[in-house]
Structure 1
Amino acid sequence: MLKKLENHIHKNLPFLKDKKLLIAISGGVDSVVLAHLLSALKFNISLAHCNFNLRPIECDIDEEFVKTLGKNLNTEVFTIHFNTTEFAKENKQSTQIAARNLRYDWFNELIEKHQFDYILTAHHADDNLETFLINLTRGAGLDGLTGIPEINGNIVRPLLKFSREEILAFVKENNIAWREDKSNASTKYIRNKIRHQILPVLKGINPSLLETFEKTTAHLKESQQIIEDKIGEISSEAIASENSISKIDISKIEKLSNPKAYLYQLLKDYNFTEWDDVADLLSAQSGKQIISKTHTLLKDRSFLLLSKKVFSAVPKITIEIDENTTIITAPIHLKIEEVQEKSIENKQTIYVDKQLLKFPLKLRRWQDGDFFYPSGMTGKKKLSKYFKDEKFSLLQKQNTWLLCNNDNAIIWIIGSRKDNRFNKNEATDELLKISI
C-alpha cells in the first residue's frame, strides 16, 4: 500500500510534495494509516485532533492516543476541546453538522496561524460509495452523485482510491494500533446502516463494486463538466450584475429547452430548496419573491433579481450627522467637504448650499408619504411614484438611503436624485460637496 500511495501521489497529487500538510486525525484506523504512510514517505506533516466530548472517557483516551502517535512519528500534534452538544443546540444544528463546522473552522485557524498548505483527510473508496448511496436516498442532483472530491480547495483526500479492505490489511500486516469508535457499530445512523446492512449485499452481488462505482462516478463527472461548460455560456448571456444584484433575463431562460433545470443549475449554490416555486417565478407577477436562508430571488418585470438576503420590513434606523462630520462609513460611505466651486453633479456627487441645511442632518430609509422636489423638475413628487417611474425593484427600494435635513426634508436620494430646494443661493458662498 505504501508504494501504491507513493505512485498515486506522484501521478495525481504531485503538488503535495515539499508542502506543509495538516492531517485531520481522529485516532480511527483510516486517519492513523494516513499518518503512518505519509510519515514513512517523509512528507512534512502535523496532526490535528478534535475532542468533541461526545463520548465520556473515550474521547479523552482518543486524544491521548493521538498525542502518543505524534511522539512515535516525531510529528507535531494540535488538539482542541469542544462542547459540541451545547454548540449544536445554540445554533440549531445536528450534532454531526455542528462537529463538522467546529472542526473545519479550527482547521482554518491553524492554517492561517501556522501557514499550512493543505488539510488532508482520510476518506477512502468505501466512504465515497456510502456518501453516494446516502445522497441517492435523499434525491440528490448530479452534484451529490459524483462522490467526494479528491481535491476541494485546500482539502485533499489521498486515500480516496483505496478500499477499507486495503487499509485494514495494512494495519494487520504492520501491527499498527488504532482506536475504534464504538458508535461506528450502531445502525441508528444512516451511514452505518448502509455500511453494515446494504454494502455487504451489494458487494455479494458484485464483488468488484468499488471498481464499478469508480467508473460510474468518472462518467458522471464527465457529464457534470459538460453541464458546467453549458451553464457558463448561458450565465454570460442571461445574467448581468448591477451593484450587488444579479439580473437574470427571463426571456432568455424561457427560450431554453428546460427552464426549470437550467434555473436549478444557475441557482443551486444559493440555498434554494423549493425548485417548483423558483420555476413559477418566471410567470409570476412582479414583486413575488422566494427567500432562502442566504438569498432572495425576486420577480421584477422581465428579470429575476438575485441578491443576498434582505428583510421585508425596511429598518427604521436613523443616523445623525453633525456639522463637523466629514466622513460617514456606516451604513453607507459618504464624504462631506467644503469647496469653492461647483463641478459636475451626478448620481454619486451633489453640491448643496450649507446655509440651507439644519444640523444634525439625518440618514434614514424611505417611508410611506415621503416626497421631494426632484432636480431638473418643477413641483414635488412622492417617493413611491418616483420609484415606480424609475422602475426601482423592491430590492433597490429596500437598499435606498435618504440624506435629510433636520426637519426630515429630503436633500438627496443617495445614488439617484437630488432635491431642488438645496441648490446654492447666489447670495451665499458656503458650498458643500457630498459624495459616495
Structure 2
Amino acid sequence: MLSWQVETFIKEKQLLAANDRILVGVSTGVDSMVLLHILETLQKKMGFVIGVAHVNHKLRATSDEEETYLRNYCQEHNLPFYSTWWENPPKNGVEEKARIFRYHFFKETMVSQHYQVLATAHHRDDQIETMIMKMIREGNLFSAKGIVASQSFGATGELVRPLLQITKEEILDYSKKEGIVYFEDQTNALLNMQRNRIRHQVIPLLKEENSQALSHFQQLSDQLSAAEEIITEQQKKWYQALIKENYHEFEVDVDSYLTFSQAQQFFFLQELAKKARKYYDITLSTKQIRQVMKLLSEEKAHWVMDIDQTWQFQKSYNRLFLSKQSNKDEDAESLLTLNLGESKFLSKNEWVGLFSKDKVEVPEKVKCWLEYRQDLGKEFPFSVVLRKRQAGDRIQLNKQLHKKLSRFFIDKKVPQNSRDQAWVMTDLKDNVLGLLPYVFSYLCIPKETAKIHYVLLYKYRKPKLEGETDAGKRY
C-alpha cells in the first residue's frame, strides 16, 4: 500500500519525528492532495501534527474555487489552514517568480505559526525532470543531483519530500482507489514551458527504453549527493587552509594550491567561487575557473584577469587575490577585518573581539574599560568589517523598522564627536550588522529561546586629559 511505502521512506530517511509540527504545501493538484491524505493517515500513528498552506496565484479562472474547496476540506478535517493571494502576478518569468512567492509565504507561516517542517509533494517523476533540466541549463555535477529528500529551510526549519520514491503513476492509482478529489492545472499540458516538454516528450521515451529509468535516475541522484558530501567536506578544509578573507578580497596561497592535482585545483577554485557568490553576489563561470587554472599553471610572477567591471583576479608572486577594485576616495585605514577568534585594538582606547562563547579572551589592560557586549547566534558571519560611518548607512532595528544611522544618532541625542568615533560593523557584503557601542541589527540578535554561539566584545575608555591617571586624578 502506498501509505506504507511513504511511512517506510519517512522512517528510513528520518524525515519526520513525533511531536513535529508539519506545514504541508498544498496546491489542490493530485500530488499534493495525495500527500495530504497520506500524512493525515500517519499523523496519529507517528505522533506529528499537520497544518495546510495554500497560495492562490490568481492565474486561472478556477483558482478561487480551488482555494474554497481546500479551505472547506481543512475545516471538515480539523486542519489549520493558511492561505494568501498573489495579487500582482508578473507577465514574464511567471513560473520562477511564483515559486519564490510561494516559498516566501511558507517561510513566513512556519515562523509565525511555529512549524518546524515544510512538506512538499515532489515525486520520482519530478526528480528525473529536474535532473534533465539542470543538466541542460548548467551542466554542473552537484546541481545535477536534482531534488533531495530533506534540506534545511529558512533559519531553523527543514524541507522534506515524503513522496520522492513514489512515481506519478502510483500517485494517480492511489487517488482513484481512495476517491481523492483534486484539481487539474490545464497549463501542465502546454508545451511552451521547458518542464512540460521534458515531462510529455522526453520522459515517456526514456521509460519506453527502460522501465527502470526513474529508479536509475534516483540512484544517480543518491550517489551524487554522497559524492557532494565527501567533496564539500574536503573543499572546506582546503578553503580554511589556503584562503584568507579580507575586506572585499580573498587571498590565496598559490604555493600550496600548486601541490594539488588538476581535479583538486578545480574543486578548490569552485569552493572559492561559492564563497564569492555568497558574500558578494559575484558569479564565476566554469570557463573563468579554467582560465585561472591555466594562468596559475604557467607560474608567471604577475598577471591580472578581470571577472567583471569591479572584480578581478590578480597574481603577485606566491599570492593570488580575488578582489574588488578600490575606490580612490575610500579611506583604507578606517577599514578593519575581524574574523572569528580574533581581537584587535582599534585605537589606544578601543579594543574589540569576536569569540566562540566559551573561548572569550580579554587582555588584562582592557578588563576595567567600559564594555559593550552582544551575544550572537550560529548564523552570525565568521568574518566582519569595522569601518567608519558612510552616507546612506542604514540598520534594521526591528522586524519592520530600518533607520539611517544619521537619524539614529539624532534620535538618541548622540554628540557629534561621539558619532565620528563610533564604529560600523558590516558583513563582507557591506550589510550593517551593528553600530558600536550603541546598537546591533535586529537580524543579528538571537531570539530568547535561541542558543548563544558567539560573543562580540567592544571595550573602550574615554581618552585621558593631560596629566590624568587611570583613576581620574590629576597631578
TM-score w.r.t. structure 2 length?
A: 0.62
Rounded Cα–Cα distance in structure 2 between residues aligned with 1:350 and 1:428: 17
- 1:149 equivalent to 2:148? Answer yes
In structure 2, what is the equivalent of residue 117 of structure 1? 116
In structure 2, what is the equivalent of residue 252 of structure 1? 256
The one-character-per-residue Cα deviations of 1:79-134 (angstroms, maximum 9, x if unpaired) are 10123534x77xxxx22222122112221111111110111111000000100011
Rounded Cα–Cα distance in structure 2 between residues aligned with 1:106 and 1:311: 38
Rounded Cα–Cα distance in structure 2 between residues aligned with 1:107 and 1:8: 24
Q: Could you tell me how far 1:265 is from its partner in structure 2?
A: 3.8
Rounded Cα–Cα distance in structure 2 between residues aligned with 1:121 and 1:111: 14
Rounded Cα–Cα distance in structure 1 between residues aligned with 2:312 and 2:74: 50
Q: Could you tell me how far 1:182 is from its partner in structure 2?
A: 0.6
- 1:20 equivalent to 2:21? Answer yes
Which residue identity does 1:104 align to in structure 2?
Y
Q: Could you tell me how far 1:160 is from its partner in structure 2?
A: 0.5
- 1:48 equivalent to 2:49? Answer no
Rounded Cα–Cα distance in structure 2 between residues aligned with 1:400 and 1:45: 47
In structure 2, what is the equivalent of residue 175 of structure 1? 179
- Within-5 A mapping of 1:92-131: 94-131=93-130
CA gap 1:262/1:59 in 2 versus in 1, 3 angstroms: same
- 1:277 equivalent to 2:294? Answer no
SS of residue matched to 2:142: helix
**Greater Cα offset, 23-32 or 223-232:** 223-232
Aligned residues: 338
In structure 1, what is the equivalent of residue 6 of structure 2? 5
Partner residue of 1:162 out of 166, 169, 186: 166
Which residue identity does 2:20 align to in structure 1?
K
- 1:299 equivalent to 2:314? Answer yes
Which residue identity does 1:125 align to in structure 2?
R
Rounded Cα–Cα distance in structure 2 between residues aligned with 1:274 and 1:13: 36
Which residue identity does 1:277 align to in structure 2?
Q
The one-character-per-residue Cα deviations of 1:288-342 (angstroms, maximum 9, x if unpaired) are 55359xx9564363444457xx68646789xxxxxxxxxxxx999xxxxxxxxxx
Unmatched segments (≥5 aa) in structure 2: 153-157, 297-301, 337-343, 351-384, 391-415, 426-462, 471-475
In structure 1, what is the equivalent of residue 406 of structure 2? none
Partner residue of 2:269 out of 254, 258, 263: 263
CA gap 1:114/1:216 in 2 versus in 1, 3 angstroms: same
Alpha carbons 2:239, 2:271 under 8 Å: kept: no
SS of residue matched to 2:70: helix
Larger radius of gyration: 1
Rounded Cα–Cα distance in structure 2 between residues aligned with 1:74 and 1:198: 41
RMSD: 3.9
Rounded Cα–Cα distance in structure 1 between residues aligned with 2:469 and 2:248: 36
How high is the sequence identity, in percent, across the aligned residues? 24
Rounded Cα–Cα distance in structure 1 between residues aligned with 2:389 and 2:147: 49
Alpha carbons 1:281, 1:289 under 8 Å: kept: no
Alpha carbons 2:19, 2:49 under 8 Å: kept: yes
- Within-5 A mapping of 1:9-408: 9-13=10-14, 15-42=16-43, 43-55=48-60, 57-86=61-90, 94-153=93-152, 154-242=158-246, 246-258=250-262, 259-268=265-274, 270=277, 272-281=283-292, 283=295, 285=302, 288-291=305-308, 298-299=313-314, 301=316, 302-305=318-321, 313=327, 347-350=345-348, 401=388
Q: Could you tell me how far 1:278 is from its partner in structure 2?
A: 4.1
CA gap 1:58/1:46 in 2 versus in 1, 3 angstroms: same
Which residue identity does 2:150 align to in structure 1?
I
Unmatched segments (≥5 aa) in structure 1: 318-329, 333-345, 353-397, 416-423, 432-436
In structure 2, what is the equivalent of residue 376 of structure 1? none
Alpha carbons 1:289, 1:297 under 8 Å: kept: yes
Rounded Cα–Cα distance in structure 1 between residues aligned with 2:252 and 2:82: 47
Q: Could you tell me how far 1:75 is from its partner in structure 2?
A: 0.3
Q: Could you tell me how far 1:264 is from its partner in structure 2?
A: 1.8
Q: Could you tell me how far 1:402 is from its partner in structure 2?
A: 9.5
Rounded Cα–Cα distance in structure 1 between residues aligned with 2:107 and 2:424: 39
SS of residue matched to 2:53: strand
Q: Could you tell me how far 1:237 is from its partner in structure 2?
A: 2.0
Alpha carbons 2:314, 2:322 under 8 Å: kept: no
Which residue identity does 1:46 align to in structure 2?
G
Alpha carbons 1:62, 1:179 under 8 Å: kept: yes
Rounded Cα–Cα distance in structure 1 between residues aligned with 2:387 and 2:128: 50
CA gap 1:312/1:243 in 2 versus in 1, 3 angstroms: closer
Alpha carbons 2:284, 2:307 under 8 Å: kept: no
In structure 2, what is the equivalent of residue 337 of structure 1? none
Q: Could you tell me how far 1:142 is from its partner in structure 2?
A: 1.3
